[in-house]
Amino acid sequence: MALAKDENHNHGEQEQGRCSHFLVVAYGIQGHINPARTLARRLARIGGCTATLSVSASGHRRMFPSHGISCDEEVSDGLISYIPFSDGKDDGSWPTDSEDRARRREANFRSLSAVVDRLAASGRPVTCMLCTLSMPVVGEVAREHRLPISVYWIQPATVLATYYHYFHGHGELIGQHGGSSSTQDQVTLPGLHPLRISDMPSFFTEKTPSELSKMLLPAFRELFEQIEQEKLIVLVNTFDALEDVALKAIQPYMDVFAVGPAVPPPLGALPQHKDASEAAQIHLFKHDEKNCMEWLDAQLERSVVYLSFGSLLAYTKRQAEEILHGLQSHGQPYLWVVRKEGRAEEVDSCLREAKADSKGMVVEWCDQQKVLSHPSVGCFVTHCGWNSTLEAVVSGVPMLAVPSWSDQPMNAYLVEEEWRVGVRAERDAEGVLTRDELASRLELLMGGSERSGQIRANAQSLKERAQEAVATHGPLERSLRSFISKSMENLDQSRK
C-alpha cells in the first residue's frame, strides 16, 4: 500500500468531533482489516477526529512487510496510524483449546492496554474503542481504562438481528430444524421477512458442531450479553437503502448506526484532490495486477465471468475440476482466483489446464475492487462473504451466490430474494459446486432472458443507491457525525 500524506483531512472541521480519538481493533485477517481501515479513515476525515487501527502483530507484518519484523513499530499513512497488538504467539494461528484461548486473551489484554497507555503518553489519548465483531478482550481493556466501547458489526444488519433473536428466545426453535434445506422449514423473527432455516448462519444449524462453532458461538453470545448489559453502540457495515427492514427491526433492541458500505471508491471515481490511498485496499496476498488488468482490457464488455471464493476457502481437487469444466462448458472468458497459500498439490494439475485455456486466466490473488469495476466483467461467482457482496453491490455487478458457511447463506438469500441482483447455485451432497450447476446458473445470469436483464437493472439501481449513501453530507456522513457525538457523551458518562 502506498503511504501518502493527506493534507485535507481536517477540511470542514466540526466542534462535535474535536478531540475524539478512535482506537479501532480488528482481527488480522483480510476480511476484517479492510472494513476496519475504511471506517477508521472515514472517522479521521470528520473534523477534529483522529483514528488508530490496531490489528494482531502477524497481520500488521503482512500489511507492512517493508517495515521489518518489529512488533511494536507504528506506521502512519498520513491520515490514520497503525499499531499492532500481540496475542503472545504472533504467528497468525488460531487457539487450539480453551487453555490456549485463555493465554492469548490475557496477552491481548496486556498488549492492547499498553497501546492505550502509549497513545496517551504521546498526547493522543483514546476517547473511544471499537472492535470488529466479537472481541470481548477489547471490552475488558476499555473498562480498565474507563473508556466507552462500540462494536463494529461487519456482517449484514439482517444477520445482526438474527443473532440477537437466536440468543433471545428463538435459538431452540431454529436448532430444532437442524440442517434442513427444505423451503418449507421457515422461521419468522420479529420485524424480519420469513427466513428459511437453511439460510441461517451455519453455526446455528450444524448437526455436529465444529470446533470453530464451539469457539465462535459462545463468543457471540458473550458479545450480545455485553451489548445488552452495557448498552453498547453498534456500527453496522450496511446502508438504509440496502437493509432498511433489518435496521428497523433491530433498533428497538440496540443503538445501531448504519455506516456502510465500507468499500472505498474506485480510483477513477475519486475527486482530483484525493490521494490514491483513499481507494487502496489492504492485500495480505501478493497479486499480479498488471497482467490481470491488461487481460481484462482485451475482453468484450460484460463478457467475463469473475470467480473468487475469498481469502479463507481452500479447494479440493474435485471442486477445482468441477469449476474448470463448468467454466469451459459455459464458454465465456473467465478470471479465476485460486490462492496459492494452503493449496493442495493435486489442485495444481487442474490449474495448469485452466492456464492453458485461451479463454481463461487464473491468478493467485487480485485487486477485487478494481476487477469488479472493470467494464468487461459480466458477473461475479462468489462465496458471498459480506465484503465481497458489498463490493459487487457498489460496482453494480450481478452475482452467482455459492455460500459455504457462517453468514454466507444469509448473504446469498439477500442477493437472490431481497435485492434480486443475482441467483444462487446449490452445492451437492458433498458440498461441491458441480459443473452442470455452475454452467446452467451462469447461463441464467448472463444470457439474454428477461430475468437476467432485470437482474442487471436491479444491480445498477443498487449501485446508484450505494453512491447516494456515501455522497458528501449523505446518510453515511450524517450517521458518523451522530455516532461521534454519542461517543463523546458516553466518554463523559464513563468517567463520572
> Taking the mean position of all CA atoms in its chain, how far away is CA 11?
28
Q: Please name which of 399, 381, 394, 378 lies closest in space to residue 301, comparing C-alpha atoms.
A: 378
C-alpha span between 285 and 269 (Å, rounded) = 25
Cell numbers placing 280:
487502496
Residues tagged active-site: 32
Cell numbers placing 354:
485452466
> Taking the mean position of all CA atoms in its chain, how far away is CA 63?
17
What Rg, from alpha-carbon coordinates, does the chain have? 22
CB-based burial, 247-282: b 16+ in 10 Å, e otherwise: bebbeebbbbbbbbbbbbbeeeeeeeeebebbbbbb
Indicate if the alpha-carbon torsion angle 28, 32, 38, 43 is positive or negative.
Answer: negative
Neighbour-count burial of 372, counting CB atoms closer than 10 A to its CB (0-12 exposed, 13-18 middle, 19+ buried): buried
Q: How many residues does the chain have?
A: 496
Question: Are the C-beta atoms of 243 and 157 separated by less than 8 Å?
Answer: yes
Query: Which helix (DSSP H) or strand (DSSP E) does residue 378 occupy?
Result: strand 377-382
**Beta-carbon neighbour count of residue 357 at 10 Å?**
15
Cell numbers placing 336:
479465476
